[in-house]
Amino acid sequence: MNILVLGGAGYIGSHAVYQLIDKGENVVVIDNLETGHVEAIHPNASFYQGDIRDIKFLRDVFDKESIDGVMHFAANSLVGESMEKPLKYFDNNVYGTQVLLQAMTEHSVNRIVFSSTAATYGEPESIPLTEVMQTKPSNTYGETKLTMEKLMKWTEQAYGIKYVSLRYFNVAGARESGEIGEDHRPETHLVPIILQTALGQRSHISIFGDDYDTADGTCIRDYVHVEDLIQAHIQAMNHLKDGGQSNIFNLGSSQGFSVKEMIDAARNVTGKDIPAKIGKRRQGDPSTLIASSDKAKQVLGWRPSRTSITQIMEDAWSWHSARPNGYQEG
233-262 positions binding ligand UFG, by CB under 6 A = 259
CA dihedral 35, 39, 41, 46 (to 10 degrees): 110
Instruction: Report how far apart, in Å, the C-alpha atoms of 23 and of each of 17, 184, 234, 278, 296 are.
Output: 10, 27, 9, 44, 21
Catalytic residue among 141, 163, 168, 212: 141
Is residue 17 a contact residue for ligand UFG (CB under 6 A)?
no
Is residue 77 a contact residue for ligand UFG (CB under 6 A)?
yes
183-202 positions binding ligand UFG, by CB under 6 A = 188-190, 193
206-235 positions binding ligand UFG, by CB under 6 A = 206-208, 219, 221
> Using the rule CB under 6 A, which residue among 17, 58, 119, 313 binds ligand UFG?
119
Is residue 75 a contact residue for ligand UFG (CB under 6 A)?
no
315 and 225 in contact (C-beta within 8 Å)?
yes
Query: Minimum distance from CB of 212 to ligand UFG (Å)?
Result: 8
Query: CA 92 to CA 51: how far, in whole Å?
Result: 9
* 200 contacts: CB under 8 Å, gap ≥ 6: none
Query: Minimum distance from CB of 139 to ligand UFG (Å)?
Result: 8
Query: Minimum distance from CB of 182 to ligand UFG (Å)?
Result: 10
Is residue 118 a contact residue for ligand UFG (CB under 6 A)?
yes
Task: Compute how many other C-beta atoms are within 10 angstroms of the C-beta atom of residue 172.
Answer: 25
Is residue 280 a contact residue for ligand UFG (CB under 6 A)?
no
Query: Minimum distance from CB of 296 to ligand UFG (Å)?
Result: 16
* 176 contacts: CB under 8 Å, gap ≥ 6: 227, 315, 318
Of the pair 5, 276, the CB lying nearest ligand UFG is at 276
Query: CA 244 to CA 168: how far, in whole Å?
Result: 21
265 and 313 in contact (C-beta within 8 Å)?
yes
Query: CA 89 to CA 96: how far, in whole Å?
Result: 10
Whether residue 89 lies in the annotated active site = no
Which region among 85-93, 115-123, 149-157, 265-273 touches ligand UFG (by CB under 6 A)?
115-123
Is residue 76 a contact residue for ligand UFG (CB under 6 A)?
no
The C-alpha angle 325, 327, 330, rounded to 5 degrees, equals 90
Chain centroid to CA 191: 14
For ligand UFG, the binding residues (CB under 6 A) are 77, 79, 117-119, 141, 169-170, 188-190, 193, 205-208, 219, 221, 259, 282, 285, 289
- Residues serving a catalytic function are 141
